[in-house]
Structure 1
């Protein structure tokens, strides 16, 4: 079993500093009727809309659990919790690398204490699952706000509806605002791509799926040799060159992935074709990037400016890329063009 994770790693500072948490040998310990983590009693029955996430799930309050989707990470369900619609995510156990599975589960909670309009909000999470809700392949459960079943991936590739300029600009601004907030709290997502951006019924984009994320130290970088890097996965088409080369991780890795995602919004095409290993090699050795010249969308004044911004986002050197905060005025400038 992995070493115990300190409670300060899991709960917001304004919660854990004032609380007597009692004995807790490891937050990874399983119990049959709830979480081994403990939180203040007055917080156990906070409403779903509470500012803080809870380390206890009140299973008796779950109703109408319906499957929404599944993948390598596990399964997602739509449910009711204290009368409100939520998303229930059961995180899957990887039999080949159990430590990586646990690290990925806890990485999902890196942003759990944060609240932002463009980030999917975590409501509660636990490693203890009653038999009626659990199964042997699940290592934990996370309750989140229910954004909907549409992802940016589905809108780009699966829907016939138009993605007009004002719409993709709004979507890209939503993602940039979410990243700016995460990076201000020293959290790097490390798997930004259309499939991990959900679109709400109000047509607002929210960043989801933090299983590859990292909480950075004060240096705003994590060495590639750090034990915390063992669970980092991500999607090869959106991985920054420095990650492919095993160099230090910084928020600029998310900016590279944002650039690829923005290109997909504009063109509605896959960023690369061909063999995976060839793409990985070419991105590092030959500066391979998605094509701009072949698409008419980049021929207008707005398109040319957007192409220039993309070139900065997916620069080979991380230090040459803009920060998420620096992206925002550029996107505003693009929106102002008529």
Structure 2
């Protein structure tokens, strides 16, 4: 079977369905908003449906598609969704409830999206999965197929965003006397709905998840193409290890994927604070539709170009194993299934003995408010749930993110301590695919607090709290493996009563699973704070957390990052190979200095135990002179790097050591950004 031949009508059908979904959501919004004249919007839907009808006919006339036909009937499913759109007035004749209007738009988006997702599963992923190619063209063909699969995902993600936001903007048109001549007529400024974004959890939550997922897809595209496509620059940095494709093709891909400044601003506006009122007032529906549709049309053109390249690469695809792409899909679907695209193309932690039971929270019971943090494993939002502020940590759709979600869920369910962040529940949603942890909300993390003035007693209080939480973890046979200020939260009023808590257990492991001599990957902690034993792939135990805690105490005192003048991998080389440690500031108490040095000594057996650290901190006033405590309570700490010059090796020497360590740990082909993202 020629996969490229079968994919052409499939991608055309998907493209037409995506456009029809957007036009239908605009119509649903206009109908719910009681606009008098919706003739142009009806005309747009009619034209979109006509194009889809032609695409459906061509789709089923393709012999390769017929060869792959399952019990799923795309035409029948499409007819059902259209009946829903056409019956909007009958289902909600009064249109008196804003919440009901938004829920109806959400239903239209979901029904179209489930249809498109099943088409993608059965006729894109599975067609490629059932194709194989000869070895002579394997490298180039795999690169093309990786790019194509990522384009399909990105385009569908954008399609859901377009449909959802178009429906919201259309519903915002409440002027019954307006002459609605066309979708987004410049003469009609979209008016904000009476209810704010927090009353739209069904739509807003989906949009937030979709937009965040786009960043994962863009990163995947960058990796698969070898082109820096996420930066707004005309200069492309090709990685010759990434792909074996024509540089001119890669340049064209980079140009097509880059978002316009307007689109980037739009997504930031949605992703950061979900301010739909500002979004509606700042852009006409015509402008929004035009920008995002132009972008999607460009992506569709690249899809077709990739198919042409695939045809030229190998006219006869035979026995290609998609497992090498980590995109294997097994589709035994019934027509009623409504799973998402990613649900079938990624591993499912739920199926791997993860039982939520009492802890499961519905995605649409949460009201997202703004983004408060982001890392390689996921994004954290401030939200409201059952009337209280919560932090919702959404896992990235990557191996790192999903493994972290599963590990952290397993850890947090059994942890109950005042110095451990409180676990409230978990979210699993199949469409859009979402894995989240719902945690108690703390005002800020320690890394942020250390940039500001701190009250007297802050250092000893925070150190004692974190050590107490660490001792509790170790009693539970859990190693945190990523102790650093960014993973310590401050809850309460910093000038009154506050508590420090440990968070982020995505890299935690039980002592039984942390096998002696295990060779650990780059994701096991953060290099600046990582025990030398982990960096050198030597056996380690709970003392690895003690080493990291020592650097945390040092940072509490200095307000500077350990090995600050060095990069991540250079810092790893300094501690693990050269046995260096950060310098102490002048004036530090010899007793406190001795405690930190005993905690970060290279030999694990010589380090202090956590109970002995707690005991010392509880009696710190007996160990430290009054002037030492006054020195320690300085609100801005005592910097060391800002006052020193020439304390590190030359750049040439550092690069040499960096190369030696990188090659020793990961081999010559590992890219430097592996280390940078551990930041």
Question: TM range, normalised to the smaller chain?
Answer: 0.7 to 0.9
User: Contact 1:172–1:262 (CA<8 Å) still a contact in 2?
Assistant: yes
Pick aligned residue for 1:274 from 543, 566, 573: 566
- The aligned length equals 274
Higher relative contact order (CA 8 A, sep 6+): 1
Measure how far apart 1:129 and its partner are: 1.5
1:271 offset after TM fit, Å?
1.4
Corresponding position of 2:586: 296
Answer whether contact 1:256 1:313 (CA < 8 A) is retained: yes
- Equivalent residue for 1:245? 536
- Deviation (angstroms), 1:106: 1.6
- Bigger helix share: 2
2:414 alignment counterpart: 113
Question: TM-score, with normalisation over the residues of structure 1?
Answer: 0.74
CA shift, 1:169, in A, is 0.4
- Deviations along 1:209-245, one digit per CA (max 9) or x if unpaired, are 111111122xx9523437xx55842111100111011
Counterpart CA distance in 2 for 1:276 and 1:230 is: 15
Alignment correspondent of 1:103: 403
Structure-2 change in CA distance of 1:191 and 1:72 (3 Å)? same
Superposed counterparts of 1:1-338, under 5 Å: 27-29=349-351, 37=355, 39=357, 44=358, 54=359, 56-94=360-398, 98=399, 100-109=400-409, 110-126=411-427, 128-129=428-429, 131=431, 134=432, 138=434, 140-148=435-443, 150-156=444-450, 158-159=451-452, 161-162=453-454, 164=456, 166-201=457-492, 202-217=497-512, 222-225=515-518, 229=520, 232-272=523-563, 273-292=565-584, 295-298=585-588, 303-336=589-622, 337=624, 338=626
Separation in 2 of the partners of 1:249 and 1:124?
Answer: 32
> Is the partner of 1:205 in helix, strand or coil?
strand
Instruction: Tell me which structure has the larger Cα radius of gyration.
Output: 2
Q: For the residues of structure 2 that align with 1:120 and 1:130, how far apart are their CA atoms?
A: 27
Deviations 1:228-285 (A, max 9, x none): x558421111001110110123111110000001001011122112243333222123
Structure 1 distance, partners of 2:541, 2:504, is 18
Q: Distance in 2 between matches of 1:74 and 1:221?
A: 24
Task: Give the RMSD, CA atoms, in angstroms.
Answer: 2.7
| Equivalent-residue separation in structure 2 for 1:224 and 1:102 (angstroms) | 25
**1:79-103: CA deviation from partner (whole Å, max 9, x where unpaired):** 2222222111101123xxx3x4432
**Runs of 5+ in structure 1 lacking a partner?**
3-25, 45-53
* CA–CA distance in structure 2, aligned partners of residues 118 and 151 of structure 1: 13
Task: Provide the residue aligned with 1:13 in structure 2.
Answer: none
Q: Which structure carries more strand by proportion? A: 1
Instruction: Give the whole-Å Cα distance in 2 for the aligned partners of 1:231 and 1:192.
Output: 15
User: Where does structure 2 lack aligned partners over 5 or more consecutive residues?
Assistant: 1-322, 327-347, 627-679
Kept in 2, the 8 Å contact 1:252–1:321? The answer is: yes
Matches of 1:254 and 1:36, distance apart in 2 = 27
Please give the alpha-carbon distance, in whole angstroms, between the structure 2 residues aligned to 1:211 and 1:38: 17
